[in-house]
Each structure stands twice: as structure tokens, then as C-alpha cells.
Amino acid sequence: MNGNDDDRTAGLWEGVDALCHWLDAHQPVRGREGLLLRVLKLSEEVGEAAQAVIGATGQNPRKGVTHTWQDVEAELCDVALTALVALRTLTPEAPEVFARHLSGVTARSTPPEPAPDGRA
């Protein structure tokens, strides 16, 4: 990661924190139920992403093409942001938790680098 990547990561989590604070200030349901509703919001966002894919591919013959692939991109961003906000709501250590999880998933999902002698 270079300096720009660090800046983007910091900006991402600053944005997530700002969204959490704004949601907390306008949250009609608090406590455990509020947390559960924030996690359930993911289902809504995933549904909107699915709807955008169906619309971008014209899979509903009655409606035809109703979305663009840019709409799908935006919906996927909403899914990612909603997940990060839910994680941040669950723990103030969200950046560290996410970084550890990403590192673990990456480690088990990528092949090991070959050794200098050609062995894995």
C-alpha cells in the first residue's frame, strides 16, 4: 500500500464514522433492536443490487432494460457502505477488525508465492 492507499482507507473510515454518527442522531429505534435493524438494512441493499442487475440485463420482459451497469455499481457501493456502517456500529475497532479479516481471507484465497528454488 502506498501513501495514497492509506489516505483513502483513512477517508473511508472517517466517512463511515460520520455516517454512523448521523444515523445514531436520527435513529428512531435504539439499543439491540437498532443494531439488528442496521444489520438487516443489508438485505434491503442487496435486494436493490439484485434489482439493478435484473434491470441492467433486461431480465424482466415486462419492464425491459430499466437500469445501467453504473446503477449496479452504485448499489454495490451501498451494500459495502451499509456493511461497514453495521460493522462500525457493532465495534469501534471496525477498521482493525476489517483489516484482520481481509488479511485472513486474502491469505487463504491466494496461492503462496513460489520459493526462490521454485518450490511452493
**Grid cell digits, residue 118:** 521454485
**Grid cell digits, residue 99:** 483489516
pLDDT tens column, 90-102: 999 999 999 999 9
Give residue 47's pLDDT band: very low, low, confident or very high (50, 70, 90).
very high
Q: What is the pLDDT of residue 52?
A: 98
**Grid cell digits, residue 89:** 456500529
Q: What is the pLDDT of residue 67?
A: 97
3-class SS letters over 42-77: HHHHHHHHHHHHHHHHCCCCCCCCCCCHHHHHHHHH
Q: What is the pLDDT of residue 33?
A: 92
Closest CA to 67 of 86, 83, 48: 48
Q: Compare 8 and 78 and report the one with higher pLDDT.
A: 78
User: What is the pTM assigned to this prediction?
Assistant: 0.81
pLDDT tens column, 60-111: 999 999 999 999 999 999 999 999 999 999 999 999 999 999 999 999 998 7
Asked whether residue 13 carries a pLDDT value surpassing 90, the answer given is yes
